[in-house]
């Protein structure tokens, strides 16, 4: 029997401080990675030597890439973060179907397509409230709607409520033709698109007529309490702090809430703080609430979208002063 060849690879981290956090208390995280993947790890300062099969080394590199993303976004790392990333990278749960969200109308399985999306699906399944932040094209809304439909199909919830703030992206709502419903409809269209990709249009229509599915502007949520429901707020970066508080407190018994948003596309006046940015900071340490960050590596639209997002992000970064 031919022995599988092994390879060696050296991974250099940004600093010793980053390495200390990634390795964990007394190198516990490092041991978890070694035991889960079967790779040999030798840590020296800010470098890690990886020895194993090509598959083991590749998986380990993906684990470190995801852990570094988590650390960069939330400035800390927990044993649960390490376990979640290992579950996603190893693919054990994906093979048993735990990361699959049923099928869409075309019969295709709805599952995460990147490691970051895998962590997102894990978060949806493990928490009652998930705040998902990331650039356009990362599947934030689609996966949230797919999760809601999965919960509805299984009987876990009896209702889906899809919500969006009616905030103009540089255009004035009052100048649009038609009555209030016609004015609001363009803002809700992306939610219809996701829903119609997952469910047959006739089923969507039937569910909406019977109030099993509601799609409505954020302002219409005031005064309501929703139990046994999956409630999704899309474009949450355009909710004010008071609106976000109002929305999150609509949650009744046996309900789930998902808030999605892109902090680079805030359409609120400059003097108004984004409710999503505030919630991410204010609620990040509350048990039962998960703040999930996706980035350019998770963009699954046309490959050019990732390049466009990166180009705009690079332009927004402060430039280092040049010396004469």
Return the structure tokens found at 49.
């030597």
Determine phi and psi for 260, rounding to 5 degrees: -115, 155
pLDDT of residue 51: 93
How far is Cα 277 from Cα 279, in angstroms, rounded to an integer? 6
Q: Quote the pLDDT of residue 96.
A: 40
Answer for the pair 13, 48: CB distance below 8 angstroms, yes or no.
yes
- CA–CA distance, 109 with 44 (Å, rounded to integer): 43
Cβ atoms of residues 69 and 293 within 8 Å = yes
CA distance 265 to 136: 9
- pLDDT tens column, 171-207: 444 544 554 556 667 777 888 888 888 999 899 999 9
Query: CA 74, CA 268: separation in Å to the nearest integer?
Result: 24
Q: What is the rounded CA–CA span in Å between residue 231 and residue 144?
A: 9
Please, what is the average pLDDT of the chain? Answer: 85
Query: What is d(CA 110, CA 87) in angstroms, rounded to the nearest whole number?
Result: 18
What pLDDT, on a 0 to 100 scale, did the predictor assign at position 241?
A: 96
Question: CB under 8 Å to 201, separation ≥6 — which residues?
Answer: none
For 55-64, the pLDDT digits (tens) are 999 999 999 9
Q: What is the pLDDT of residues 263-288, one digit of tens each?
A: 999 999 999 999 999 999 999 989 99
């Amino acid at each position: 029997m031919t022995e599988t060849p092994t390879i060696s690879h050296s991974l250099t981290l940004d600093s010793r401080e980053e390495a200390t956090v990634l390795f964990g208390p007394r190198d516990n995280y490092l041991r978890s990675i070694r035991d889960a993947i079967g790779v040999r790890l030798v840590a020296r300062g800010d470098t890690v030597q990886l020895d194993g099969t090509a598959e083991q080394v590749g998986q380990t590199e993906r684990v470190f890439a995801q852990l570094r993303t988590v650390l960069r976004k939330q400035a800390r790392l927990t044993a649960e973060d390490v376990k979640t990333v290992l579950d996603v990278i190893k693919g054990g749960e994906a093979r048993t179907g735990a990361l699959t969200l049923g099928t869409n109308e075309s019969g295709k399985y709805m599952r995460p397509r990147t490691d970051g999306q895998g962590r997102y699906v894990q978060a949806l399944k493990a928490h009652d409230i998930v705040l998902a932040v990331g650039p356009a094209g990362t599947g934030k809304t689609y996966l949230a709607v797919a999760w809601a439909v999965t919960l509805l199909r299984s009987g876990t919830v009896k209702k889906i409520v899809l919500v969006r703030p009616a905030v103009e992206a540089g255009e004035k709502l009052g100048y649009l033709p038609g009555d209030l419903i016609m004015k609001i409809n363009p803002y809700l269209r992306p939610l219809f698109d996701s829903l119609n990709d997952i469910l047959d249009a006739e089923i969507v229509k039937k569910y909406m007529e019977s109030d099993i599915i509601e799609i409505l502007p954020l302002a219409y949520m005031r005064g309501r309490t929703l139990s046994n429901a999956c409630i999704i707020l899309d474009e949450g970066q355009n909710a004010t702090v008071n609106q976000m508080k109002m929305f999150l407190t609509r949650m009744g018994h046996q309900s789930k809430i998902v808030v999605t948003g892109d902090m680079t596309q805030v359409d609120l006046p400059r003097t108004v703080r984004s409710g999503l940015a505030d919630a991410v900071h204010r609620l990040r340490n509350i048990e039962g609430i998960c703040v999930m960050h996706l980035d350019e590596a998770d963009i699954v639209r046309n490959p050019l979208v990732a390049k466009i997002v990166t180009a705009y992000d690079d332009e927004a970064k402060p430039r280092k002063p040049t010396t004469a």
